[in-house]
Structure 1
């Protein structure tokens, strides 16, 4: 379990970890270098399943390599597609979905997540989520288009019915205005 408040990624992992069951299903909506995929694969255990999405083959290769080194490749399905396609591919319900928006660390900075597809992906994630499940989002605002994507995520999340979803927003108030923002959405109801 991640500890500390020094990282938006660690915060999201901490906040979604309580909703993931051993043997459950989870989604890494932005595989990147595989860190969230590995984290979720550890939580679901050998009987669980994680779907990891990315549009870049480089990201999927890095994720595949990390999974093989950790001996967890058998519990993950790597999908080369945009995260907005998850509802067509993932068999729900799912315990958790993690998004790390922006660009692939160490990759091409011009290839980024976009507000329109991200909002569609968030809606797909909510449709797949079981009661008590959580969606965790890290929004990086320091790159071109990042602030607009953050605004779109916050607008969508704030419009959700408070009887059906619990939504929190966390930001680092002692860092620059370009620091990442965390949004966590919990589907109301008790976990099964």
Structure 2
């Protein structure tokens, strides 16, 4: 799933761009964004767990990459990112793989973060939201985020989501939002 999402995003990110990983986790998307934006770009990554920052810092250091890692919720991204021409914002909803399942993204803060991020995206920029449903709050978050997105002005945002009807156990649902 991650590779497929990255292939979709590839055409939207160039060297020198500013990008945000709104849910850093183990740093896979942060690493991807750094590799696309290069040394002249800027990547901000958010997580509420110190372990996520540690794992991401180790991954980036190993590959001699840099990003601004921020120990805070994604709903506060506007307090840290001053650029208002962000090319790409990535979300992976749910919890840190191998981490505490009680520390998962929540509907209200995710919607706040998505709303803030949409205001920061440049025209032609893209936001990806990989929705992992299931667990304690996953279905609620999925339904809340999709309801929020359904209310966005279709003259300002193109939204596409991918479903996998032959996959069992609530597979992730990638959603892409392009600012028109």
The residue number in structure 2 matching 1:125 is 117
The residue number in structure 2 matching 1:25 is 18
Corresponding residue to 2:177 among 158, 161, 185: 185
Contact 1:12 1:184 in 2 (8 A): no
Corresponding residue to 1:153 among 133, 145, 156: 145
Once the two structures are superposed, what CA deviation does each residue of 1:154-182 show, in whole Å capped at 9, x if it has no partner? Answer: 11111111111000010111112511111
Structure 2 stretches lacking a partner, 5+ long = none
Deviation at 1:12, TM superposition (A): 2.3
RMSD over aligned Cα atoms? 0.9
Once the two structures are superposed, what CA deviation does each residue of 1:21-48 show, in whole Å capped at 9, x if it has no partner? Answer: 2101000000100000000000101100
- In structure 2, C-alpha distance between the alignment counterparts of 1:15 and 1:158, rounded to whole Å: 21
The residue number in structure 2 matching 1:4 is none
- In structure 1, C-alpha distance between the alignment counterparts of 2:46 and 2:171, rounded to whole Å: 24
The residue number in structure 1 matching 2:7 is 14
Once the two structures are superposed, what CA deviation does each residue of 1:129-166 show, in whole Å capped at 9, x if it has no partner? Answer: 00000000111012111011011111111111111100
The residue number in structure 2 matching 1:3 is none
The residue number in structure 2 matching 1:100 is 92
The residue number in structure 2 matching 1:77 is 68
Q: TM-score, normalised by structure 2?
A: 0.97
Structure 1 stretches lacking a partner, 5+ long = 1-6
- In structure 1, C-alpha distance between the alignment counterparts of 2:8 and 2:149, rounded to whole Å: 16
3-state DSSP of counterpart to 2:7: helix
- In structure 2, C-alpha distance between the alignment counterparts of 1:44 and 1:173, rounded to whole Å: 34
The residue number in structure 1 matching 2:40 is 47
- In structure 1, C-alpha distance between the alignment counterparts of 2:122 and 2:22, rounded to whole Å: 16
